[in-house]
Structure 1
């Protein structure tokens, strides 16, 4: 009898810790209804670890976004290409400078991150085009494209579609950082020192002497 009561009490305590049965269907409905808060032509952005990824909402839970992808170079199988882009495919796409403008679901585009809606409008130099025009521009660009980390990335794609002019704030910030690095004359002395150390360690040859002279000289002239 005591064992039976202990079992019942433990069961009651465990049951009190479990979520109510309606909780999971409710979350599923929230995910299904989430895309309806976006309008055709909206600019969506999600924060990644090192960068921000951008896309254009096309309606019907579809987001057009430019993403590096090596697979279209290797196969014409549309079913394989349409599968979610893995990190390996993405990295090889960056290295080979190949990408695709593809339409994925909002969930696949976000990849678990929160979505910012039209946040770039506050900093853009131009007013956004009409939502329909934005979406049509994005749809016309669907398919394989060349890729450049600095000159043709996902931000260039969405700014062209939404504002009529391709630009990348992330690229601009990187270039400003690079210019400040070059202008810092302490880096000239540092690169010269590293060059001398490499000559001491590996010996004097064209492969060590030339960079030792050329890199500090280039930084000095650019600073």
Structure 2
């Protein structure tokens, strides 16, 4: 006897369709959120570009030498690259595309904000070669004299730095704090992967954690959240643990 439309088989099919629709809805919502975030980042980049007009055209072969360490100031950070000559720069940039395709035609395109954002979330990046104009993205390019270079007794070999950069081209793991563009250029030029930006951020974070006033502020915000949303396991536990952790670390 065949099961009716509301029998076990029909219920399974109905439940499967429900789960499929729920999954599609979740993916649609996630895509809309990422698209909105990418739109916001694009507007921020546009405003930064307007505030910092592009530099005059590069005199190829004269402004920079092969192996020079270049930097581009952004709103919250500085982007780094190694000059390879002929108006080309090797740099590490978050990019999701190398993780999903090996099509060189697509990979050569300039990295969009959506590709960059997904690369940060997926912790994937690529070491790629772009023109100085694409590397700058509308900002001014500066020749960097790194603090590590001032501490070196022996000047770094510029040609060796360029060859190291060229040897690393392709998809690489990415981390905002432990493997970013500054780690890449300092390893290429000085043989030691360091990021002064990361170190400064960690020092700032350490100072915030050690400040006992932040523990009191977290406790006050926790009490306000309890007053607004009521007492429950989802609100009480963070209210206790976060101020306690900050207090013990201070």
1:53 to 79, 99, 102: 79
Name the CA distance, whole Å, in 1 between partners of 2:186 and 2:148.
13
CA contact under 8 A between 1:129 and 1:164: conserved in structure 2? Answer: no
Return the offset for 1:201. 1.5
Return the offset for 1:36. 3.2
1:138 maps onto 2:181 in alignment: no
Instruction: Find the residue that maps to 2:161 and give its secondary structure.
Output: helix
Cα RMSD of the aligned pairs, angstroms, is 1.6
Stretch of structure 1 that moved more, 197-206 or 116-125: 116-125
1:100 maps onto 2:110 in alignment: no
- Aligned partner of 1:89 in structure 2 is 115
1:188 to 184, 204, 215: 215
TM-score (norm 2): 0.74
CA contact under 8 A between 2:90 and 2:130: conserved in structure 1? Answer: yes
CA contact under 8 A between 1:128 and 1:163: conserved in structure 2? Answer: no
CA contact under 8 A between 2:149 and 2:156: conserved in structure 1? Answer: no
Instruction: Find the residue that maps to 2:226 and give its secondary structure.
Output: helix
- Aligned partner of 1:176 in structure 2 is 203
CA contact under 8 A between 2:149 and 2:155: conserved in structure 1? Answer: no
Structure (1 or 2) with the larger CA radius of gyration: 1
How far does the alpha carbon of each residue in 1:140-193 deviate from its partner, in whole angstroms, 9 at most, with x for none?
111000000000000000000111101001001101110111111111111111
Name the CA distance, whole Å, in 1 between partners of 2:124 and 2:71.
21
Pairwise mapping of residues 64-213 of structure 1 onto structure 2 (< 5 A)?
64-120=90-146, 124-126=150-152, 127-213=154-240
Stretch of structure 1 that moved more, 182-191 or 113-122: 113-122
Name the CA distance, whole Å, in 2 between partners of 1:32 and 1:195.
54
Name the CA distance, whole Å, in 1 between partners of 2:147 and 2:211.
34
Stretch of structure 1 that moved more, 58-67 or 116-125: 116-125
CA contact under 8 A between 2:64 and 2:83: conserved in structure 1? Answer: yes
**Structure 1: runs of 5+ lacking an equivalent:** 1-29
Name the CA distance, whole Å, in 2 between partners of 1:221 and 1:110.
44
1:63 maps onto 2:108 in alignment: no
Instruction: Find the residue that maps to 2:102 and give its secondary structure.
Output: coil
Instruction: Find the residue that maps to 1:36 and give its secondary structure.
Output: coil
**Structure 2: runs of 5+ lacking an equivalent:** 1-55
Instruction: Find the residue that maps to 1:187 and give its secondary structure.
Output: helix
Name the CA distance, whole Å, in 2 between partners of 1:143 and 1:132.
20
Name the CA distance, whole Å, in 2 between partners of 1:164 and 1:191.
42
TM-score (norm 1): 0.82
Name the CA distance, whole Å, in 2 between partners of 1:178 and 1:118.
26
